[in-house]
Amino acid sequence: MNANRKRIVIAGGSGFIGTALAKELSANYEVVVLSRSPKLRADGVKEIEWDGEHIGEWIQFLNGAEAVVNVAGKNINCPHTPENVHELTASRVNSVNAVGAGIYHVAQPPKTWVQASAIGFYGSPGETICDENSPPGNDTLTEICRQWENAFAEAKMPKTRKVLIRIGFVLGRDGGALPVLAKLTKWFLGGRTGSGKQFISWIHISDLTRMIAEAVEREIFSGTFNAVGPNPVTNDDFMRELRYALHRPWSPPTPEWAVKFGARLMKSEPSLALAGVRVVPKRFFETGFQFRFSELSKAFENLYESA
């Protein structure tokens, strides 16, 4: 362990968000990633083995850490069969319980725990604008998020400041759902999806990693925050901007039956594309957080400037 630099532990940090976050934090911190299959890395980030369920040797890295950020969980992009929903939920709840038990067992608990959740918490309430006080929805994603958040709420730890971030649709070139949409768009399959009226509450990956860094560093962060950009758009507008960024001026709309058929072929879940929610980052506004990417066109310009 590095005696000079403060340490941040990222559970599930080998994935899309964790990799970008580790890069952002490495400039100022020693970063330790917890992974079920750790690899040797050349970027100075240390990967340590855990199983996402039980405490083990890995908890020594929590001892004296500045913060732990937990973004572990089975990827949501799979058919939401009962078996998969069980795994999606268990992988999240178990990882929260493991981190909580780890914090409980170390002599010097981390100062801050930033825990991921998702805006799926709000369900799909049409055009209604959701902030952090809005009620939960009543669909599968809501139920997964509810159990995930309950596990976090139940972890009582007086010495550790707890921050829950409900993450929106994260835009990055190297992971998440955007590369799939970009590939379809390049094949002239980037029309509006279903009615096109469902909202997409997006956030650029670099704004998300800065939000997490601020949540670690500033004591005013405590409780629940929507980690989304300030301007959610309809699917129709989102796909139009994506086509523009990728130089595909027009594509036919994709009707609901075709989304369902395509999702089966791609072993995905059609509701991820057909449902949506309009979420605002009310509490991040209140902290004075400065977004680098407030407009979707600028976010795409940044991600695809050489496309």
Place of tokens 């909580």: 100
What's the rounded Cα separation, in Å, for the pair 75 and 227? 18
Amino acid at site 53: E
Is residue 281 within the footprint of ligand NAP (CB under 6 A)? no
Among 37, 249, 250, 265, binds ligand NAP (CB under 6 A): 37
**Do 9 and 38 meet the contact criterion of CB atoms below 8 Å apart?**
no
- If binding is defined by CB under 6 A, does position 23 make contact with ligand NAP? no
Q: Which phi and psi (to 5°) does residue 150 adopt? A: -60, -40
What are the start-end ranges of the H helices in the chain?
16-26, 82-105, 140-154, 178-186, 205-217, 235-245, 256-265, 271-274, 282-287, 296-303
Q: Which is nearer to ligand NAP, 86 or 247 (CB)?
A: 86
Nearer to ligand NAP, 74 or 255 (CB): 74
Question: Residue 129 corresponds to which amino acid?
Answer: I
Dist CA 95 CA 117 (whole Å): 12
Contact 10/18 with Cβ under 8 angstroms? yes
CB count in 10 Å sphere of residue 56? 14
Type of residue numbered 218:
R
From the CB of 87, what's the least distance to ligand NAP, in Å?
Answer: 7
**By rule CB under 6 A, what string of x and - marks binding of each residue 125-154 to ligand NAP?**
------------------------------
What is the DSSP code (8-state) at residue 18?
Answer: H
Interface residues for ligand NAP in 156-195 (CB under 6 A)? 167, 169-170, 175-176
Smallest distance, ligand NAP to C-beta of residue 286, A: 21
Distance CA 87, CA 105 (A): 26
Contact with ligand NAP (CB under 6 A): which of 74, 210, 260, 282? 74
Q: Which of 9, 73, 161, 164 binds ligand NAP (CB under 6 A)?
A: 73
In angstroms, what is the minimal distance from the CB of 148 to ligand NAP? 8
| Residue 20 or 259 with smaller CB distance to ligand NAP | 20
**In degrees rounded to 5, what are phi and psi of residue 279?**
-115, 145
Phi then psi for 100, rounded to 5 degrees?
A: -60, -45
CB 175 within 8 A of CB 15: yes
- For ligand NAP, the closer CB: 53 or 255: 53
Contact region with ligand NAP (CB under 6 A), list: 74-82, 182-190, 233-241, 298-306: 74-82
Per CB under 6 A, does 271 bind ligand NAP? Answer: no
Is residue 97 involved in binding ligand NAP (CB under 6 A)? no
What is the longest distance spanned by two Cα atoms in the chain?
60
Nearer to ligand NAP, 36 or 105 (CB): 36
Closer to ligand NAP by Cβ: residue 3 or 42: 42
Q: Which residues of the chain form contacts with ligand NAP (CB under 6 A)?
A: 12, 14-18, 35-37, 52, 71-76, 91, 95, 116, 118, 167, 169-170, 175-176
